[in-house]
Amino acid sequence: MKIYISGGATSKFGELWDVSPRDLVKKVVGEALKQSGLSSSRIGALFVANMLSGTLGGQDHLGAFFAEELGFSIPAMKIEGACASGGLAIHAGVLGILSREYEHVLVVGVEKMTDHKPEEVARVLMGAGSDEERQAGVTFPALYALLAKAHMEKYGTTEADLASVSVKNHFHACFNPLAQFPFPITIEQVLQSPRIASPLKLLDCSPITDGAAAVILSNNKKTVSVIASTVATDTLGLAEREDLTTLKATQEAAKIAYEEAGVEPKDIDVAEVHDCFSIAEILAMEDLGFAKKGEGGKFIREGKTKLGNSLVVNTSGGLKACGHPVGATGIKQMVEIYQQLSGISGKRQVQNARVGLTHNVGGSGATAVIHILKSL
C-alpha cells in the first residue's frame, strides 16, 4: 500500500467554549500543511469526519463547509460512522490515494460537544445504537457496563482491572499538553468515583470533549507509511450479538489488517485503541491479539502497556484522558502514532517505535476501523 503521511496535527482537547469548529479546523489544517511542506493548492480532496454537527448544531454539509473555510473548491464530503467517523474518513482518504484520482488528501475530524447540555449530547449519541436500545432508554455507559459485566462473569475481570485502564491513560496524558485531563489518578479514586452504570464509574468513562485533528495522506514517499487500512461491521445492538465478551468487528478488522500489513500483534510497538470506557480497552487488548482472551484486564493491570514496555497503548491518554471529540478521535489516534513513529513525541515517546496501530470503534462495536503504520 503506497500511502504516506505528509503531516498531522491535533488541537487542544477539552471544554473549548471560546473556540469555534472553524477555528479548530483551521488551526490543525494549518499545522498539518506546514509540516507537509505542501501548498494548500496541492490538496486534491477533503474528507471530514463528524457525527453531531447536524443534530447538535443544525449544520450539515460539512464537506463544502470546511472546503470554503479553508479556501478550497476541491471535492469534499462528510463521512459519519458514529465514534468511528474519524477512522472511516481516513479509510476513505486511503481509497482516494490508492485510486490515483488524488495525490494528496486532507482528512479532518472535528466535534464540538460541550456547548450543549450533557443530557442532550447523551441523547444524540444514542444515534449510534439500535432502535431498541434507544427505546429502552439505555445510553452508552449502560451498554458498555453490560459488556463489562459479561467479561467479569466469564473471566473474573475485576473493577480494579477496569480502573487500571483509566489510571494508565491518565498517567500517559500527563505527558500530553493537548490532553483534556493531564493529571494522574489512582485506582482508589476510580473505584470511589460515582457509579454511572454499574460496574462502570465516572472515571471509567471517557468525557465529552471539543477538539479537532487533521492528517494529510500522500502518494509520494515520506518517513511514515500506512500499511493497512481495514473496516469491519457488526450488529448495531448488543442484543443481536452471540458473544458480549468480544467485539467481533475489531477481531475481523484486525485479522485483515495484520494480513494486509504482513505484521503480527507482537510487532506492534505503540497503539492507540478505542477506550471510550475502560472495559473497551480490555476488550481491545484481547481482540487485537495483544493479550489472551480473558486476560486483557490482568495484562493492563500488570502495567504491560504502560510507557517503558515493548508495547505501549494510548500514549495520548486515550479517549479517557486525552478526551473524545467524537469525529476527531480516529484522526487524533493516527496523528499520535504518526508522531510516535517520527520520534517527536517528547516525554511520552516510545523508544524505537517502528510499527504502530490505531483502533477506532463506532457505537458499542458495530464499526471497527484499524490502521497500521510503519516508519520507513
Binding site for a copy of itself (CB under 8 A): 45, 51, 54-55, 58-65, 67-68, 72-82, 88, 91-92, 94-101, 123-124, 126-129, 131, 134, 229-236, 240, 248-249, 252, 362-363, 366-367
* Residue pointed to by grid coordinates 473556540: 19
Query: What distance in Å separates the CA atoms of residue 16 and residue 125, rounded to the nearest whole number?
Result: 19
Q: How far is the CB of 243 from a copy of itself (least distance, A)?
A: 14
Q: How far is CA 21 from CA 56, 186, 193, in A?
A: 13, 33, 32
Residue 17 Cβ vs a copy of itself, minimum distance, rounded to whole Å: 18
Least CB distance to a copy of itself at residue 358 (A): 16
Which of 83, 205, 276, 322 does the annotation list as catalytic? Answer: 83
Catalytic residue among 104, 324, 359, 371: 324
* Cβ nearer to a copy of itself, comparing 32 with 83: 83
Q: Is 267 buried (19+), middle (13-18) or exposed (0-12) by CB count in 10 A?
A: middle
Could you give the C-alpha distances from 86 to 9, 41, 176, 306, 359, in angstroms and in order? 14, 23, 20, 25, 11
Beta-carbon contacts of residue 95 (< 8 Å; ≥ 6 apart) = none
Q: Are 229 and 342 in contact (CB under 8 A)?
A: no
Helix (H, G, I), strand (E, B) or coil at 338: helix
Distance CA 7, CA 376 (A): 15
Catalytic residue flag (residue 83): yes
In angstroms, give the least distance from the CB of 109 to a copy of itself. 13
Show the cell assigned to 190: 476510580
Location of C-alpha cell 429502552: 136
> Which three cell numbers, joined as nine digits, stand for 307?
510507557
Decide if 174 is catalytic: no
Cα separation, 46 vs 186, whole angstroms = 41
Contacts 24+ apart (CB under 8 A), 66-70: 66/25, 66/108, 66/110, 69/22, 69/25, 69/26, 70/25, 70/26, 70/29, 70/40, 70/46, 70/106
Shortest distance, CB of residue 349 to a copy of itself, whole angstroms? 32
Shortest Å, Cβ 145 to a copy of itself: 20
The residues annotated as belonging to the active site are: 83, 324
